[in-house]
Amino acid sequence: NSEDVRCKCICPPYKDHSGHIYNKNVSQKDCDCLHVVEPMPVPGPDVEAYCLRCECKYEERSSVTIKVSNVILLA
């Protein structure tokens, strides 16, 4: 299920750009700043420095398990 996986990048403030959190449904191998941060807030020469500051994590969850757990808790 495409909603059950995502890559989350947390980018702190850089120069005159404020910090931002980016989420995108990508594969685990593409979970990096260059594939997730769109649009890139900095010009070409600053992209590498900006991306080195970002922390990207691949996250998976099972929405079916979450739904079943909620039904059991509410029953």
pLDDT band at residue 3 under the 50/70/90 scheme: low
Higher pLDDT, 2 or 72: 72
Instruction: Show the 3-state SS of the chain.
Output: CHHHEEEEEEECCECCECCEEEEECCCHHHCCHHHHCCCCCCCHHHHHHHHHHCEEEEEECCHHHHHHHHHHHHC
* Containing structural domain, residue 43: 3-72
What does pTM read for this prediction? Answer: 0.74
pLDDT value at residue 52: 96
φ, ψ for residue 39 (rounded to 5)?
Answer: -75, 150
Please state the rounded mean pLDDT for residues 30-43. Answer: 96
pLDDT at 14: 94
- Cα–Cα distance for residue pair 17/4, rounded to 1 Å: 30
What's the total number of domains in the chain? 1
